[in-house]
Amino acid sequence: MSETPQEKKSQEQNPPKENNQRSRRTITLFVLVALVALLAIKVFFDQHEKSELKEYYQTELEQSQTKLKEISEELEQKIHEIDSLGGDITELLAAKEEVEKERDQLTATRQANRQLIGRLRRKTEGYEELLKEKDKEIVRLKKVAEQLMTENTSLKTEKNELNRSIVDLNQDKKKLEDKVAIASQLKAEGIHIYAVSKSGKEREGEFKNRQLNTLKVVFNIAKNDVAPLEAKEIFVRIIDENDQVIFDINKGSGSFMLDGKETFYTAKKDVLFDNSQQQLSFTYDKGSDYDPGVYTMEAFTDGYSMGAKTFTVK
């Protein structure tokens, strides 16, 4: 039995209830699937973002540790440099101690965060600014040191020149003193050597032993206006051809220092030099014959020779 046109139109305008329910379930399921998918996507991206952020903070933490190490080393360098230049290192020492504490805290920190990273950045920037200021101070201290070095070099040059002048003056003084010392040396002049016989007769020139009972030496002390008026010990040595000194301790002979060595003298006389060309007389009684030959008489005082003369015994 076929549907009437009216019934067909009624079915098209009012679909069955069952079709409507199926359609709503389909839509609801689609929405749920879409929501689950969106939630899964959000969770995935949230986890990925957290992982990236954690990795970023960890990298920042490691970089901060490295930076603090570099700052600590640079602070140490600045401390030594400024201290060597005579500057104040109190602030740098305090900063270095603080940096070391920061490094120790970072070493103990297992997980970084935004707040920690931000604080480290601010601290690092502060330390870097301090280092820049200290660089300027080092430049200033170096200029001061260079200026002081220049002044010190100038003073050293002046001191050296003064020392050279003093040395030159001392050398001139020493030369003058040496010249004065030489000029003040006493000289024997008018030297005569006599052979005195037992009868008292004096002979000069060549002697024979029978004529030579006593040897007599006579000379004057030459006038010397430079020499000081003072007591003098005058020594006379009689030397034979073998360079042996004629002496006898029992007859007034003795020893004195000559050129740093002890040497014997034949006769000695203590006098007061008065610059009057005073005459001195020395006698020596040998008590035995002289060996034939040429003898030398030498006169000394204060370690230098006043003069000499030879005589011959036949």
With cut-offs at 50, 70 and 90, classify the pLDDT of residue 37. Answer: low
With cut-offs at 50, 70 and 90, classify the pLDDT of residue 45. Answer: low
Residue 68: is its pLDDT beyond 70?
A: yes
d(CA 295, CA 313) in angstroms, rounded, equals 8
Residue 38: is its pLDDT beyond 80?
A: no
Higher pLDDT, 60 or 251: 251
Place of tokens 């020779």: 305
Nearest Cα to 236, choosing from 212, 250, 215, 222? 215
The pLDDT value recorded for residue 164 is: 84
The pLDDT value recorded for residue 48 is: 53
- Are 87 and 137 a contacting pair, CB within 8 Å? yes
The pLDDT value recorded for residue 253 is: 96
Q: What is the residue-wise DSSP string for 131-170?
A: HHHHHHHHHHHHHHHHHHHHHHHHHHHHHHHHHHHHHHHH
pLDDT tens string 167-223: 887 887 888 777 778 889 999 999 999 999 999 999 998 999 999 999 999 999 999
pLDDT tens string 91-148: 888 887 887 787 777 666 655 666 666 777 777 778 788 888 878 888 888 888 888 8
d(CA 235, CA 10) in angstroms, rounded, equals 176
Mean pLDDT to the nearest integer, 18-29: 76
- Are 236 and 244 a contacting pair, CB within 8 Å? no
Nearest Cα to 78, choosing from 101, 96, 97? 96
Tokens of 248: 């006898």
Mean pLDDT to the nearest integer, 255-275: 95
| Domains of the chain (ranges, CATH numbers) | 18-183 (no CATH), 188-313 (2.60.40.2560)
Tell me if residue 108 falls in helix, strand or coil.
helix
With cut-offs at 50, 70 and 90, classify the pLDDT of residue 54. Answer: low
Distances (CA, A) of 34 to 37, 45, 198: 5, 16, 164
- Are 305 and 299 a contacting pair, CB within 8 Å? yes
Element (H, E) at 43: helix 17-84
- Range from 23-37, 50-64, 255-269 carrying the lowest mean pLDDT: 50-64
Residue 313: is its pLDDT beyond 90?
A: yes
